[in-house]
Amino acid sequence: MPPKVGNDGRLYYNYNVGLRVVMKENNEGWHFEIKNATYLSCTEYYTCARNGELMPAQLSANRVRFLLSVCGQEVIAAGEARELPLLPEEVENFYSDKIEYYDKQLAKMVNCKAYGEARTKINALACKIGTYEALEKPGVEELKKEYAEIENSANEILIKAGVDVSIFNMQRCPDCNEHGFDKYGSICACAYAKAEEIKDFNAKIRLKARKYQN
Ligand SMILES: [Zn+2]
């Protein structure tokens, strides 16, 4: 059973925690209540109670749906919607979009001829400065000044070409190199730290998709 997409585009458990329903089975009435919900291996599991006593095993969302459809009579408490934890596919979407954006900026930079020319000058100057310093030749300060000026103008060339230069100074996560998963394939700590941003990113995509579906 796929998770429920809320009006805000985020993912929720299909059933609310605190849901209470009057049930009827073989002419016998009883109370069903959802006490807690967890998400494991892409499946929703519910800790439930029957007449106030915890049921021995957790129920999957499919099982809850089945029970409610067969025995449910009347909802006496709606309970509260609970959000799903951050999902691997959400992390994947977020970081692959980031990488795509980075690659796009990089391609723009590589294809900018004026920038390439400035870079060639910069590299040549760097070599020259190195030689001057090694030989203790006079005039190093002027060369360094020139270097800084070309460096600045190179940056301006990029900005004018519409390149988002801020991303090239971005600190990359040492554990996942901005891919969102650590070497064991688990969601990286940097992604958990950005969980809200990642969920919002995915929610926007879902809402957009919904807009075009309707
Ligand atoms: Zn990371």
Cα 59 → chain centroid: 29
- Whether the predicted pLDDT of 9 surpasses 90: yes
The 10s digit of each residue's pLDDT in 127-143 is 999 999 999 999 999 99
- Two tokens, residue 84: 């799903």
Return the residue matching tokens 């723009």. 108
State the DSSP string of 139-206: THHHHHHHHHHHHHHHHHHHHHTT--GGGGGPPPPTTTTTSSB-TTSSBPHHHHHTHHHHHHHHHHHH
**Where does residue 18 rank: exposed (0-12), middle (13-18), buried (19+ CB within 10 A)?**
middle
The rounded distance, in Å, linking the Cα atoms of 58 and 67 is 13
Q: What is the pLDDT of residue 149?
A: 95
The 10s digit of each residue's pLDDT in 98-123 is 999 999 999 999 999 999 999 999 99
**How much distance in Å is there from the Cα of 192 to the middle of ligand 1?**
9
- Two tokens, residue 155: 């940056």
**How much distance in Å is there from the Cα of 131 to the middle of ligand 1?**
40
The 10s digit of each residue's pLDDT in 37-76 is 999 988 999 999 999 999 999 999 999 999 999 999 999 9
Q: Containing H/E element for 92? A: helix 88-111
Q: What is the pLDDT of residue 170?
A: 82
Q: What is the pLDDT of residue 214?
A: 66
**How much distance in Å is there from the Cα of 183 to the middle of ligand 1?**
10
**How much distance in Å is there from the Cα of 99 to the middle of ligand 1?**
13
- Whether the predicted pLDDT of 213 surpasses 80: no
Q: What is the pLDDT of residue 184?
A: 93
Please give the radius of gyration of the chain, using alpha carbons only, rounded to the nearest integer.
Answer: 29
The 10s digit of each residue's pLDDT in 153-207 is 999 999 999 999 988 888 889 999 999 999 999 999 999 999 999 999 999 999 9
**How much distance in Å is there from the Cα of 179 to the middle of ligand 1?**
7
The sign one gets for the Cα dihedral 13, 14, 19, 20 is: negative
Q: How confident is the model at residue 19 (pLDDT cuts 50, 70, 90)?
A: very high
**How much distance in Å is there from the Cα of 9 to the middle of ligand 1?**
25
**How much distance in Å is there from the Cα of 147 to the middle of ligand 1?**
35
**How much distance in Å is there from the Cα of 93 to the middle of ligand 1?**
14
Query: Who contacts 109 (Cβ-Cβ below 8 Å, separation ≥6)?
Result: 115, 158, 161, 163, 168
**How much distance in Å is there from the Cα of 188 to the middle of ligand 1?**
5
Mean pLDDT computed over every residue of the chain: 95
The 10s digit of each residue's pLDDT in 77-89 is 999 999 999 999 9
